[in-house]
Amino acid sequence: MARSALINVMVQTAMKAGRSLSRDFGEVQNLQVSLKGPGDYVSQADRKAEEIIYNELSRARPGYSFLMEEGGSVEGDDPQHRWIVDPLDGTTNFLHGIPVFAISIALERQGQLVAGVIYNPAMDELYTAERGGGAFLNDRRLRVAARSKLSDAVIGTGIPHLGRGHHGNALLDLRNVMGETAGIRRLGSAALDLAYVAAGRMDGFWEDTLAPWDMAAGIVMVREAGGFVTDRDGGGKIFETGKVVAGNEAIHRSLLKTLAKQGR
């Protein structure tokens, strides 16, 4: 598969940051048995990966703006382009030695998401997508699953934890979706959840209280794999609301209907 110059830049950046995370992940697994635990080490790994990404992308595309989980917003000389970066999505998994985490890099041009790369270095799975060019996993073309009934579908979600989200609303969502689907999965990485929808591994996904860097690359991935991504009202205010619903056309429509049962 011939990649564009833009995707090549994003891939090379993600791979370099991935090598850093892989080394640190090995250390974290060793630290699991210590009394102190790996918490401080993981935060250092996160910041180190973000620094690599920032430096590489700044060198390749001088002047582009950034929105980063750790570093926040950095205004560049080029107001038309913005990188949206999560250097370690799935921090809790990483912290516990679970190999389900990813680097997520997206590019926004004039307010529109145009490219995304999601890389899980522990599994060496590289997801890429560019607007109009399709979505790929390690150079294999991706399409969302073809299942049309929620009763046949496996749906991904995120579950609120200490200090994040409304547990009551999440439990109501879970009850409603569980009653209509073949199963629910909670991977612990929204970027990979969306990548899995693009790959047809999961039929749909929903989550509330997400940040742009959690889902920007994944949104491009799902859309380029033929799927639909909206907010919970079926509109485009995903970043503003922090709420996302994804799937193929039929599953997306059914999932929106099921989630609306709460009347919110």
Structural domains present in the chain? 5-141 (3.30.540.10), 150-262 (3.40.190.80)
Q: Are strands 112-120 and 102-109 parallel, antiparallel or unpaired?
A: antiparallel
Mean pLDDT for all residues in the chain: 92
**Residue 77 annotated as lining a ligand binding site:** no
Residue reference for tokens 């935060």 = 43
Token pair recorded at residue 227: 């799927």
CA distance 106 to 68: 11
**Residue 152 annotated as lining a ligand binding site:** no
Cβ(134)–Cβ(142) below 8 Å: yes
Q: Tell me how far CA of residue 111 lies from CA of 107, 237, 261, in angstroms.
A: 9, 12, 32
Cβ(219)–Cβ(238) below 8 Å: yes
Token pair recorded at residue 182: 């073949």
Rounded to the nearest 5°, which phi and psi values hold at 2?
-85, 120
Residue reference for tokens 């699953």 = 145
**Residue 203 annotated as lining a ligand binding site:** no
pLDDT tens profile 216-234: 999 999 999 999 999 999 9
Give the highest mean pLDDT range of 32-46, 92-106, 160-174, 185-199: 185-199
CA distance 56 to 54: 6
pLDDT at 63: 96
CA-closest candidate to residue 6, choices 132, 137, 143 = 132
**Vertex 139: Cα angle to 135 and 142 (nearest 5):** 35
CA distance 119 to 6: 16
Longest CA span, the chain: 51
CA distance 228 to 47: 32
**Residue 89 annotated as lining a ligand binding site:** yes
pLDDT tens profile 48-89: 999 999 999 999 999 999 999 989 999 999 989 999 999 999
pLDDT tens profile 94-145: 988 899 999 999 999 999 999 999 999 999 999 999 999 999 999 899 999 9
Torsion-angle region of residue 234: left (phi > 0), alpha (psi -120 to 50) or beta?
A: left
pLDDT tier at 263, thresholds 50, 70, 90 = very low
Residue 13 CA neighbour count, 13 Å, CB half: 31
pLDDT at 165: 55
**Residue 86 annotated as lining a ligand binding site:** yes
Amino acid at position 38, single letter: P
